Amino acid sequence: MKLKIGNFYKEEFIITQEMVNQFAKLSGDKNPLHINKDFASKTRFKKPIVHGLFSVTSFGKVMGTKFPGSGSIQVSQNLSFKNPLYPDLKYYVYVELIRIIKDKHFGIFKTQIFDMKNKIIVDGTGIVRHETKL
């Protein structure tokens, strides 16, 4: 079934410090701001923060497995990191279809992460291709 403008998907998630440590190993991004409590305590964040590029994998998860889902191919993504995302706290990801480019099977999606008080953490838009749903 084709998606329509205004369709959206919303999901809560928690990224644990253990997941951040695993991501640091897997990606090679061992910036101490993410994995070293002492280092992070001396920064303006006071404690370790999640890698920006790890937090946004929540968009990939939603778009690749739920909305539009399996078969999605990511074409582009803009990301603006507005506020830090901390390990072990709950956030939610919000993905909304805002435009369709029919002949290319492209959907332009608003992609955002908020904390549980609705403060924006990551803002952005992504373009995804899906041959049957877009």
The nearer residue to its own copies, 29 or 96, going by C-beta atoms, is 29
The nearer residue to its own copies, 27 or 41, going by C-beta atoms, is 27
Q: Which residues bind its own copies (CB under 8 A)?
A: 19, 22-23, 26-34, 43, 51-54, 56-61, 64-65, 70-81
The nearer residue to its own copies, 5 or 87, going by C-beta atoms, is 87
DSSP, res 67:
S
The nearer residue to its own copies, 64 or 96, going by C-beta atoms, is 64
Q: How far is the CB of 50 from its own copies (least distance, A)?
A: 11
Q: How far is the CB of 94 from its own copies (least distance, A)?
A: 16
- Pull the structure tokens for residue 85: 């995302």
Q: How far is the CB of 134 from its own copies (least distance, A)?
A: 15
State the CB neighbour count (10 A cutoff) for residue 134.
Answer: 20
Q: How far is the CB of 133 from its own copies (least distance, A)?
A: 13
Q: Using the CB atoms, write b or e for 49-59: b if 16+ within 10 Å.
A: bbbbebbbebb
State the CB neighbour count (10 A cutoff) for residue 30.
Answer: 12
Amino acid symbol at 18: E
- Strands 120-129 and 73-81: what pairing? antiparallel
